[in-house]
Chains A and B, each alone.
Chain A
């Protein structure tokens, strides 16, 4: 069974802290994605990666960075967390180089920044 796992389901951090969200997939997928989900806004793409050490900005990359040192792992980093980064974060992965690959999602991490 395909699986995308995220390191935490719930996370509470303080303003200014550095935050790491980890995502691991076991499907040998080339592509991985980080989204944030907010009520009324749907899913917005933060960053994605199509290969190890490769990354591309999505629609809302400001305040975030990513790291992909291994094919199966894609990390989202909040360098200095702010309250407006309180959100649900979803990781996804897909196969292939074209747009045909459906995305498989993890369960999400609900991050609260106080």
Chain B
């Protein structure tokens, strides 16, 4: 069965520090992988996506993610966090069908 695990419910980092949000997936075929961000009171916005090719993908707002098939992971990274990055982050996996499977989210707090 398809599933996504985000092991960290909540993360706190200082502004300017680096960030890594973890995502592990279970999917029977080649996965399509996504990271979304949700600011308070808002819908979800796509940060980046991986379909094929280079396993390191660049997204908006300075985020990047690396697909590691051997570890079934798609971790999100940012070298220097800004206060405006405080939000909820969701990893999702899709494939041949239309449905996406979302993780339970990681809430990010940024300390000034």
Contact surface of A with B, Cβ cutoff 8 Å: 4, 31, 33, 35, 40-45, 48, 50, 58, 90, 92, 94, 97-108
- CB pair B32 A41 closer than 8 Å: no
- CB pair A103 B100 closer than 8 Å: yes
- CB pair B104 A100 closer than 8 Å: no
Bin the interface of chain B by size.
Answer: 20 to 34
Residue of A94, A99, A100, A103 with most chain B CB atoms under a 10 A cut-off: A99
Please give the distance in Å from B109's CB to the nearest CB on chain A. Answer: 15
Q: Answer whether A40 and B9 are a contact pair too, CB < 8 Å, given A99-B95, A100-B51, A102-B49.
A: yes
- CB pair B42 A107 closer than 8 Å: yes
Q: From B4, which residue of chain A is reached at the shortest CB distance?
A: A42
Tell me the chain B residues, 1-26 only, with Cβ under 8 Å from chain A: 9
- CB pair A107 B99 closer than 8 Å: no
Contact surface of B with A, Cβ cutoff 8 Å: 9, 32, 34, 36, 41-46, 49, 51, 90, 94-100, 102-105
Q: Which secondary structure dominates where chain B touches chain A?
A: loop
Task: Give Cα A45–Cα B93 distance, bound, in whole angstroms.
Answer: 13
A-B contact pairs, 7 of them (CB 8 A): A33-B98, A43-B90, A48-B98, A101-B98, A103-B100, A106-B43, A107-B42
Contact of B99 among A58, A90, A102, A106 (CB under 8 A): A58
Please give the distance in Å from B23's CB to the nearest CB on chain A. Answer: 12
Please give the distance in Å from A3's CB to the nearest CB on chain B. Answer: 11
